[in-house]
C-alpha cells in the first residue's frame, strides 16, 4: 500500500497538470454555486428593498468575455516562459534538474490560477440572459470574476519574479542542498522502513549469514527500472509471517533488470511464486531515480552542476564552489548522525531483514571524487574542496569517518601536485591538507 501511495504521490508532484486540474475543478464548482446563489439573492433584494442592480447584460458579457480572453492568453505566455526556463536549466545545469522545476508548486499554482479564472468567467458568461421577460445578470458572480482577474494580475507579477530567481544557479543549488539536508534528517539514523531498527548488542551469527549467502533463493525483479522506494516495515512483516530471513540485494537508486535478484530468501524452500509477487509489490520501480530514499541522487545533482561548471566550455569555478558549500553543509549533519543498522528484527527480536546501508563514506566518495577529478587544475576549487573537508572533520567523531576525509584530502593534494603548475598554489594546497591531517588526528570532539 505504501509503495502505491509513494508512486502515485511522486507522479502527481512531478506533473504540471495535477494542481491546475484541481484548481480548474474548484473554479467550475464555484461558478455553479455562485450562479445558483445569485438568482435568489437578486430577486430578494429587488422584492424586499426595491433595489435594482446597475449594469446590464451587455456590460456583464463584455467584462467576462474580456477577462476570459486575457486569462487564456496569459496562461499561454506563462506556459511559454516555463518552457524557456526548463530549456535553460537543462542546457546549463543538467537535464536531471528538470524534475525539480516540474515539482515547483508555484509554477503549477500560477498555471492553475489563470486556467481557473478563465473557466469561471466562461461558465458564468453562459448564464447571462438578455431577453427582457427572463433577463438575468449574475451581478455577484461577475463581481467575483473581476476580483479573480485582479488577483491574477498580482500572480503574474509574482511569477515573473519567481522565474527570474528560480533559474539562477545559486538558487537552484540552494534548493537541492536544502532537499539533501531534509533527506538526511528523514533517513538518518532511521532506516528505510521509517522506524529506528533494533540494533542488537552482538551481530548475527556468522554461520547464519554464510548459510543465507550460500543457500538463499533469489527473488527476481518483475520489471526493469530504478528502485525508488522500498517498504521496509512490510518486508519485515512478510518475513515474520513466513518465518524467513530476507537480504535486500539492491537498494534505492540502483537499476535492476527483470529477473535479476531483488532479495535473497532463506530458507529458500519457503519462497513461492506468491511470495515473490508480494516481495515485488514492496518495491517501487520507475524510469528515473527519485530523492525519497535515495540521498545519492541529490548528491549527484549537486555534483553534476559542479562538474558542468568546471567544463572547458563553461569554466565557472564559482558555481562549483557553491555546490561544495552545500555539500559540506549536508555532510556536517550526516557525520554527526548514527549510521543505521543493516539488521532489522521483528517484535520477537528475530532477525528478519538485512538491508544495504548507505554510509558516510559512500556519500563522501560520490560527492568529492568527480569534483576532484574535474577540478584538479583549478586552484580555487581544490582549495575549497580541502576547506570543506576540514569543516566536516571538525564534526567527525568516528575514526572511520575521519579516515575517509583524510583519504580524500590526500588524493586532492596529489592531484593538485600534478594539475597546478604554479608552486605557490601547490603550497597553499599542502597547507590546507596539513590542517586536515591535524584535525583528523585530534581526539573526537576537540576540534569542534
d(CA 76, CA 74): 5
Q: To which residue does cell 505566455 refer?
A: 77
Would you say residue 116 lies in a domain? yes
Percent of the chain, pLDDT > 90? Answer: 46
Give the total number of structural domains in the chain: 2
First to last CA, the chain: 44
Model pTM score: 0.84
pLDDT digits (tens, 9 = 90+) for 221-268: 999 999 998 988 899 999 999 989 999 999 899 999 999 999 999 888
- CB-based burial label for 9 (10 Å; 0-12, 13-18, 19+): exposed
Choose one of 167, 192, 226: the last residue of a domain.
Answer: 167
Would you say residue 238 lies in a domain? no
pLDDT digits (tens, 9 = 90+) for 207-224: 888 888 888 899 999 999
In this predicted structure, what is the pLDDT of residue 200?
46
CB atoms within 10 A of CB 70: 17
CA 242, 248, 252, 257 dihedral sign is negative
Would you say residue 201 lies in a domain? no
CA 267, 270, 273, 276 dihedral sign is negative
Would you say residue 291 lies in a domain? no
In this predicted structure, what is the pLDDT of residue 55?
60
Would you say residue 211 lies in a domain? no
Size of the chain, expressed as the number of residues it contains:
448
Percent of the chain, pLDDT > 70? Answer: 91
β-strands 255-256, 225-230 pairing: antiparallel
Would you say residue 287 lies in a domain? no
Choose one of 142, 167, 192: the last residue of a domain.
Answer: 167
In this predicted structure, what is the pLDDT of residue 43?
65
pLDDT digits (tens, 9 = 90+) for 374-391: 998 899 999 999 999 999
Choose one of 140, 167, 194: the last residue of a domain.
Answer: 167
d(CA 338, CA 43): 70
Least confident of 186-195, 236-245, 401-410: 186-195
Would you say residue 236 lies in a domain? no
Domain that holds residue 77: 13-167
Band (187; pLDDT cuts 50, 70, 90): confident
Q: Taking residues 179-200, report their average pLDDT.
A: 64
Would you say residue 195 lies in a domain? no
Q: To which residue does cell 494542481 refer?
A: 19
Amino acid at each position: 500500500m505504501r509503495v502505491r501511495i509513494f508512486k502515485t504521490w511522486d507522479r502527481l508532484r512531478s506533473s504540471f497538470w495535477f494542481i491546475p486540474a484541481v484548481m480548474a475543478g474548484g473554479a467550475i464548482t464555484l461558478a455553479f454555486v455562485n450562479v445558483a446563489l445569485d438568482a435568489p439573492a437578486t430577486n430578494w433584494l429587488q422584492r424586499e428593498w426595491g433595489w435594482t442592480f446597475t449594469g446590464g447584460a451587455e456590460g456583464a458579457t463584455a467584462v467576462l468575455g474580456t477577462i476570459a480572453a486575457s486569462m487564456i492568453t496569459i496562461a499561454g505566455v506563462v506556459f511559454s516562459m516555463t518552457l524557456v526556463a526548463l530549456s535553460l536549466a537543462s542546457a546549463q545545469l543538467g537535464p536531471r534538474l528538470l524534475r525539480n522545476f516540474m515539482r515547483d508548486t508555484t509554477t503549477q499554482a500560477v498555471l492553475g490560477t489563470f486556467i481557473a479564472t478563465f473557466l469561471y468567467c466562461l461558465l458564468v458568461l453562459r448564464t447571462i440572459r438578455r431577453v427582457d421577460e427572463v433577463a438575468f445578470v449574475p451581478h455577484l458572480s461577475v463581481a467575483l470574476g473581476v476580483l479573480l482577474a485582479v488577483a491574477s494580475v498580482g500572480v503574474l507579477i509574482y511569477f515573473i519574479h519567481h522565474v527570474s530567481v528560480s533559474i539562477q544557479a545559486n538558487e537552484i543549488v540552494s534548493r537541492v542542498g536544502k532537499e539533501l539536508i531534509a533527506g538526511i534528517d528523514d533517513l538518518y539514523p532511521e532506516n528505510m522502513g521509517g522506524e529506528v531498527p533494533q540494533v542488537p548488542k552482538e551481530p548475527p551469527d556468522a554461520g547464519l549469514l554464510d548459510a543465507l549467502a550460500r543457500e538463499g533463493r533469489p527473488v527476481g525483479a518483475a520489471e526493469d527500472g530504478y528502485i525508488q522506494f522500498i517498504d521496509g516495515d512490510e518486508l519485515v512483516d512478510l518475513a515474520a509471517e513466513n518465518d524467513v530471513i530476507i537480504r535486500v540485494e539492491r537498494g534505492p537508486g540502483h537499476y535492476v533488470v527483470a529477473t535479476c535478484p531483488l532479495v535473497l530468501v532463506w530458507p529458500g524452500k519457503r519462497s513461492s511464486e506468491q511470495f515473490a509477487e508480494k516481495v515485488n509489490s514492496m518495491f517501487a520501480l520507475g524510469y528515473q531515480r527519485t530523492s525519497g530514499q535515495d540521498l545519492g541522487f541529490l548528491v549527484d545533482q549537486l555534483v553534476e552542476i559542479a562538474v558542468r561548471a568546471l567544463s572547458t566550455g563553461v569554466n565557472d569555478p564559482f558555481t562549483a564552489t557553491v555546490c561544495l558549500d552545500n555539500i559540506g553543509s549536508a555532510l556536517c549533519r550526516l557525520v554527526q548522525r548514527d549510521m543505521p543498522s543493516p539488521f532489522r528484527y521483528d517484535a520477537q527480536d528475530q532477525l528478519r531483514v538485512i538491508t544495504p546501508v548507505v554510509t558516510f563514506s559512500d556519500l563522501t566518495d560520490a560527492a568529492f571524487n568527480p569534483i576532484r577529478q574535474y577540478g584538479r587544475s583549478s586552484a580555487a576549487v581544490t582549495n575549497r574542496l580541502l576547506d570543506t573537508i576540514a569543516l566536516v572533520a571538525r564534526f567527525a567523531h568516528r575514526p572511520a569517518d575521519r579516515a575517509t576525509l583524510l583519504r580524500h584530502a590526500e588524493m586532492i593534494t596529489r592531484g593538485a601536485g600534478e594539475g597546478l603548475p604554479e608552486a605557490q598554489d601547490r603550497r597553499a594546497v599542502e597547507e590546507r591538507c596539513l590542517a586536515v591531517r591535524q584535525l583528523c588526528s585530534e581526539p573526537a570532539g576537540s576540534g569542534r
